[in-house]
Structure 1
């Protein structure tokens, strides 16, 4: 098995490990370039790395790819600028709802709903395009932030609502934490590229409600699903537990992802950071590892558990390992604790052994309980975003967002 990196400091990453990560990042971009859809945006790649015939581009995939290419451009990839432009133009045309405003979930399907999840990724893609200097980036970002505030942001709650119908006339009563998590991510990016403090303040409000509120009050078993009064719906999708976006129970990877985002908010706030954030970040990460890793007799993180820590969906998702790598690195950098360095090495070892395809460097998206390829929840390999971020994070300076770090130089 290839040697896995051991974190030291972001500023003094060993040269051999920096080269390894650089090479891995380049290979992921190689894969991502195949997703370019000539009709606009970026499409869904199958397990062989080919565009899925007849499946139109989706906004969230297009945005994640655009964000990734913006980071790659700032890392010196000569292919990336044109790919960012392709994504930005799709968000301004093919995926934009010219009639009602906002963004379609899927190209050509104007009758679909308007999701906070997808719109948060429009903000992220636009912020990253702005940060890399795309001429249309700021206009796209301003529009996306306007839609987020006008349609999704609930000032009284300090959270975003989840889904409207296509014409913005009916708001679904469902409220979700997943969309709020990516809103924190996108608002941090917006704050970094605009310098406007309001986006950091809103990200902090969301983080406080979710982490210091919902997660802490449930002993770090974060409820994901709520009604319109923000009362938890603990049985939501109990009959469809493997839902790719709204699974039943506790989503292990989100505990870990919220841990990392908590530390990014603390970095952004500096001396103003609330005293509860470092402990909460450690507790969320510890809960995710303790309740999700190797809990059913085989290595890997289970996708979900119930609220008594029993595994429900035992498939292993690539993105959970990627988030564990990124969170372990961030915690090690923040605390100096070598236990997180050991975890970083452990998660990379698992990824190299089970997830990274030696043929092209892409990551298998889903494995079963025996760590064999699976597609129960997730078919194909349509997204390099989690893997790319986990790979490049140790190469970057400490920052509140990936685009903020990339702007500061690698």
Structure 2
């Protein structure tokens, strides 16, 4: 009997694969460069990468663009600085509410601030992330924005008694909404870890003083993360997304609007994957914690079991019911990007081959179905037959998720992206991680 040939080495860590990731990273940065607006801000891009003025200027798009192109600056990619600076100019300028503080959700096509949407933690978490990356990339105004964004986040959104943030205020910051959400919490954790890394490196005393310093920011992130550990255990790895003011889950929220782009009904496998990666990142920042690692595995396994190939076709469904039955079967690009990042993180954390195999399978899926080699970037939404669709996400708004999927597999679990790039940690060997020294 002939023995089976040895399995090929995992794709993770191969120099040729890292070169492929680098090329894809640069392709994405080239596509998104047209988002820079002359008056400051970042445009919502259509399928060809052309700014779509009908969407106005969105704070979360502008902040994510500032973050992405600050990473481009740290990577040394030509053309990144003007895009980062154009986006940053709106965060320090016309998107700010100088009367009541914080940032408007958006400016309309005519430049009028959107006051009806109020002030959201989701938007402000991305401003905080953008400021951290811009400051570490040395962009003009980045450090000042970091100080301001940190103060707003702490005074308006962070609920220290609960150990997690409020979700939404009215436009004047006079009344918070009763709704609490896990999506804003997730991006706050991401941003707070980035702030910790930024203030630990920067010499600016005002920046380092806000919020009690790096250790305090990491502690806040860890408190919110441990809430998710408990949620994952209580709900068999399916995370409730929507809560009342006392953080009681509302499992029927938006049952009549199941495909909402930000607050869909049911469990969202993509967020289970995103939280899985973040829990591993929190552990790397704080020190070994088996409960975080175990919860990361639980979330990953549940998201894959419920979401991947769930209806007879390749891809992750958008949402499921509380028994794992698919509800919205559209395929979103960001879910695959987060699956790739989570698999890479868990492989680095555990060394288990199954994560490397999933990582390879999901990049194969992305190459076949999501990467648009003609028009650029990634299709943001596919239908259940993996045909490009616009039911939830028209166009190709920004490159945040896809760009990070090309970088996270080539970096250690800590520190966060901008600090890791600034410290020259890109493309480390695929070995067990330890947190690098400050500096």
| TM-score normalised by L of structure 1 | 0.95
Deviations 1:82-135 (A, max 9, x none): 222112111011111111110000023252300000000000000000111123
Q: Displacement, 1:38? A: 2.1
Q: Deviations over 1:1-60 (max 9, x none)?
A: xxx99444xxxx333222211111111001110111223200111112111133311000
Q: Is structure 2 residue 202 aligned with structure 1 residue 197?
A: no
User: In the TM superposition, what are the counterparts of 1:238-317 in structure 2 within 5 Å?
Assistant: 238-270=255-287, 273-317=288-332
Q: CA deviation at 1:275?
A: 2.4
In the alignment, what sits opposite 1:325?
340
Deviates more, 1:352-361 or 1:195-204: 352-361
Alignment partners' CA distance in 2, 1:170 and 1:217: 31
SS in 1 for 2:53: coil
- Classify 1:275/1:18 alpha carbon distance in 2 versus 1 (closer, same or farther; 3 Å): closer
In the alignment, is residue 133 of structure 1 matched against residue 138 of structure 2? Answer: yes
Distance 1:350 1:5, change over 3 A: farther
Inter-CA distance 5–82: structure 2 relative to 1 (3 Å threshold): farther
Structure 1 residue 376: deviation in Å?
1.1
Alpha-carbon distance in structure 2 between the residues aligned to 1:408 and 1:60: 27
**1:139: how far off?**
1.0
Does the Cα contact within 8 Å between 2:232 and 2:295 map onto a contact in 1?
Answer: no
For residues 288-336 of structure 1, what are the alpha-carbon distances to aligned partners after superposition, in whole Å with 9 as ceiling and x for unaligned?
0001001111010000001011100000000000000111011111111
Tell whether 2:420 aligns with 1:405: yes
Give distance in 1, aligned partners of 2:29 and 2:10.
23
Higher RCO (C-alpha 8 Å, min separation 6): 1
Q: CA deviation at 1:360?
A: 4.6
Query: Which residue number corresponds to residue 124 of structure 1?
Result: 129
Provide the rounded CA distance (Å) in 1 between the counterparts of 2:114 and 2:406.
36
What is the CA RMSD across the aligned residues, in angstroms?
Answer: 1.4
Contact 1:5 1:348 in 2 (8 A): no
Counting only pairs closer than 5 Å after superposition, residues 367-406 of structure 1 correspond to structure 2 as 367-406=382-421
CA distances 1:183-222 after superposition (whole Å, capped 9, x unpaired): 000000000111221110000000011x222222111111
Q: TM-score, normalised by structure 2?
A: 0.89
Q: Is the contact made by 2:49 and 2:376 (CA closer than 8 Å) also made in structure 1?
A: no
Q: Report the equivalent of 1:87.
A: 87
3-state DSSP of counterpart to 1:312? strand
Question: Within 1, Cα distance between the matches of 2:75 and 2:413?
Answer: 16
Counterpart in 2 of 1:145? 150
Alignment gaps of 5+ in structure 2:
1-7, 201-213, 427-439
Equivalent residue number for residue 72 of structure 2: 72
Give the alignment of 1:198-217 within 5 angstroms. 198-209=216-227, 211-217=228-234
Q: Equivalent residue of 1:34, what SS?
A: helix
1:167-182 → structure 2 map (5 Å cutoff): 167-182=172-187
Q: Does the 8 Å contact 1:291/1:309 carry over to 2? A: yes
1:159 corresponding residue in structure 2: 164
Q: How many residues align?
A: 400
Pick one of 235, 245, 249 that aligns with 1:232: 249
SS in 1 for 2:372: coil
